Amino acid sequence: MSRKAIYWFQSDLRIHDQPVLSNLNQSFDELLCLYIIPNRWLNNPFGLDFNRFGKYRRKFLKETLVDLDRSLKKIDQKLIVLIGNPAEIISDIFQEHNIDKVFTQDQFASEERDDINYLRALIGDENIVSHQSMLMVDPESLPFKIDSLPFGFTSFRKKIEDKFSVQNSYDDVKDLPATLISFKDVKWPEILVLEEEETIIPEKTAFPFEGGESAALNRMNQYIWESQHILSYKSTRNRLVGTEYSSKFSPWLANGSLSARRVYQEVKKFEDQIRSNISTYWLIFELLWRDFFHFQALKFGAEFFKAEGIKHRKKDWNYDVDLFNRWRTGNTGVDFIDANMIELKETGFMSNRGRQNVASWLAHDYKIDWRWGAYWFEHCLIDYDPCSNYGNWMYVSGVGNDSVTDRRFNPDLQSEKYDKKNQFIKLWLN
């Protein structure tokens, strides 16, 4: 009898560094490569007038899926994209097509973990196998259990820095089992059909982002090997204008078209072959922040998304929609905040310096529930990732991992320091 499997792609939209996918050929005859857009992305949890899946995210995801499908076709497979409740869709296919096993990626945020747990309940724990391919450092390799994860980043880093090892990243998948015949002609969901005006991004964007593994690997190659801008990363990373002030890896890391382990491996190779300095170290340091927020999300589950945050700190949040809309449309009257918010609205990206400032403004000056801001970011950001987004928002808003109680950024001082000649403000406010 033919052995059948489903590979459920989540935030691993690539064919490099796919340890499980690479080996399916040995045990299965037929395979369904599946990606499901969760229908909750179209919901509106706070009753505001936008959903969780804005146009830039849709554009970037579509480009990513097209690129993945192209790569799969080269090895006689294809990507099926559906929309709905992931666990229910997979369970229906599982029953109807007598599937033997479902493979997928481990998740760290509570909603995504709930999807996997629900699927386990529907089809049986023994029929689903998940693996870690999202982070640089495996949670199992930490020198402590997730329950004992240090609360602050510095103590986390000090505990692991000299001890962690990173698994070698796998080469591209070479062979896969044949496509499940009955899925050959399934159309992709309407939500991925974009209107022309939805796809226009101004030339002044911080980076001409294009979704997909091919563009991701090109950018990594260019930033590390060709331009070697990685060598000045630490001194440029707080800037606001241009393609090279930071790596711009985040959108690809967020949907997994770039593997964090591959970035680590590439930086180490560069350090061995060319040079190692504080900047090459600092890029890995930032990837540790990314892992840190994922581990925190795993530890705290749904608390990560509550107003009191993981600090369990009750604050008297404001829910003034007009004030919130001023912030979100770039109409606060504070140039540095508005320029950043307009950049986000028009491109789906914002620098880290900008994000810290606008988050601080919403939470500390307008005193609006930080989750509204995180939710607007979720709608807009092409690098949206639940753990990094909600984790950073909590941090800035005084309900997360920051040891300082309320760290307010002064936008005037910040713009004097990071935008001395008003280059950034002029770029986005003119």
Ligand X SMILES: Cc1cc2nc3c(=O)[nH]c(=O)nc-3n(C[C@H](O)[C@H](O)[C@H](O)COP(=O)(O)OP(=O)(O)OC[C@H]3O[C@@H](n4cnc5c(N)ncnc54)[C@H](O)[C@@H]3O)c2cc1C
CB of 426 to ligand X, least distance (A): 21
Q: Where are the alpha helices (DSSP H) in 238-385?
A: 250-255, 260-273, 278-300, 321-328, 335-347, 352-360, 370-380
Nearer to ligand X, 85 or 214 (CB): 214
Q: What is the DSSP letter of 318?
A: B
Contact status: 287 vs ligand X (CB under 6 A): yes
d(CA 334, CA 360): 13
Per DSSP, the residues of 55-97 read: HHHHHHHHHHHHHHHHHHHHTT--EEEEEE-HHHHHHHHHHHT
CB of 323 to ligand X, least distance (A): 18
Q: x-or-dash pattern for ligand X, window 240-279, by CB under 6 A?
A: ------xxxxx--xx-------------------------
Nearer to ligand X, 290 or 299 (CB): 290
- Work out the end-to-end distance of the chain between its first and last CA atoms, rounded to an integer number of angstroms: 66
Nearer to ligand X, 25 or 238 (CB): 238
CB of 300 to ligand X, least distance (A): 16
Helix (H) or strand (E) holding 104: strand 101-105
> Residues 247-251: contacts with CB within 8 Å, 24+ apart?
247/219, 247/220, 247/223, 247/283, 248/206, 248/207, 248/209, 248/219, 248/223, 249/216, 249/219, 249/220, 249/223, 250/383, 250/385, 250/388, 251/60, 251/209, 251/211, 251/349, 251/382, 251/383
Nearer to ligand X, 289 or 418 (CB): 289
Region 202-241 residues binding ligand X, contact defined as CB under 6 A = 237
Bridge partners of 34, per DSSP, are 8, 80
d(CA 396, CA 404): 9
105: phi then psi, degrees, rounded to nearest 5: -100, 140
Question: Under a CB-based contact definition with an 8 Å cutoff, are residues 234 and 83 in contact?
Answer: no
d(CA 32, CA 25): 12
Nearer to ligand X, 4 or 379 (CB): 379
- Helices 370-380, 335-347: inter-axial angle, 10-degree rounding: 40
Q: x-or-dash pattern for ligand X, window 315-354, by CB under 6 A?
A: ------------------------------------xx--
Nearer to ligand X, 119 or 254 (CB): 254
CB of 6 to ligand X, least distance (A): 28
Length of the chain: 430
Nearer to ligand X, 80 or 135 (CB): 135
Q: x-or-dash pattern for ligand X, window 389-418, by CB under 6 A?
A: x--xx--x----------------------
CB of 23 to ligand X, least distance (A): 27
d(CA 379, CA 53): 5
Among 289, 367, 410, 427, binds ligand X (CB under 6 A): 289
Contact status: 114 vs ligand X (CB under 6 A): no
Q: x-or-dash pattern for ligand X, window 145-164, by CB under 6 A?
A: --------------------
Stretch that binds ligand X, among 6-14, 85-93, 168-176, 386-394 (CB under 6 A): 386-394
Contact status: 372 vs ligand X (CB under 6 A): no
CB of 26 to ligand X, least distance (A): 33
Nearer to ligand X, 300 or 377 (CB): 377
Helix (H) or strand (E) holding 389: helix 386-397
Stretch that binds ligand X, among 84-92, 154-162, 333-341, 384-392 (CB under 6 A): 384-392
Site residues (vs ligand X, CB under 6 A): 237, 246-250, 253-254, 283, 286-287, 289-290, 293, 351-352, 355-356, 359, 377, 381, 383-385, 388-389, 392-393, 396
